Structure 1
Amino acid sequence: MSYQVNGHTIEHDEEGYITNLSDWSIELANEIARTENIEMTDEHWEVVNFLRQYYEEYQIAPAVRVLIKAIKKSMGPEKGNNKYMYELFPYGPAKQACKIAGLPKPTGCV
């Protein structure tokens, strides 16, 4: 299973998470988002970039509660809440956003 981006084949697991984190690119993020039926906006990118920085710092993809708490602390309560995050990523902010960010599946996600 793979994504096709700019003539490159990027492998992913059965759920769509890329297998090699260094394969991630903005083009790949847009392709993954397309397969998830998400039209990437500045708000989506804000969360994706936040997740990538979080992962770089802690070497872990946060579960949804941890993610929302961290976003609330970083970007304020108007963005750090379930309603806002589910509007951006309807199939689960942590799972969907981590997939688009090229990160592993968050711990604790079924």
Structure 2
Amino acid sequence: MSYQLNGATIEHDEEGYLTDISVWSNDLAEIIAKDENIDMTPEHWEVVNFLREYYDEYQIAPAIRVLVKALKKKYGPEKASNKYLYELFPYGPAKQACKIAGLPKPTGCV
């Protein structure tokens, strides 16, 4: 299973998560998002870039509770509610946003 980007084949697992997170790029994120029926807006990118920074720092993809808490600290309560995140990523903010961010599936997500 793979995504196609500029003639390259990028492998992913059966759920769509990249098997090699080092190949991630903004262009690849757009392809994954399209696959997830999401049109990337600045708000989506804010969450995706936040997740990538979080992963760089802690080497783990945050579960939804941790994500909400960390977003609240950085962006304030209006951008850190489950409701807001589910509007952006209807199939599960932590799971779907991590997939688009090219990160592994968050721990605790089924």
Q: Which residue of 2 aligns with 1:32?
A: 32
**TM-score, length basis structure 1:** 0.99
Aligned residue type for 2:2: S
Identity of matched residues, %: 78
Unaligned runs of 5+ in 2: none
RMSD of aligned residue pairs (Cα, Å): 0.4
Q: Which residue of 2 aligns with 1:8?
A: 8
> Shift of residue 67 of structure 1?
0.4
Specify the SS of the correspondent of 2:3.
strand
> Shift of residue 34 of structure 1?
0.1
Pairing 1:60-99 to 2, within 5 Å after superposition: 60-99=60-99
| Deviations 1:14-63, CA, capped at 9 Å, x for gaps | 00000001110111000000000000000000000000000000000000
> Shift of residue 99 of structure 1?
0.2
Aligned residue type for 1:51: L
The number of residue pairs the alignment matches comes to 110
Query: 1: CA distance between counterparts of 2:61 and 2:82?
Result: 17
> Shift of residue 95 of structure 1?
0.2
**TM-score, length basis structure 2:** 0.99
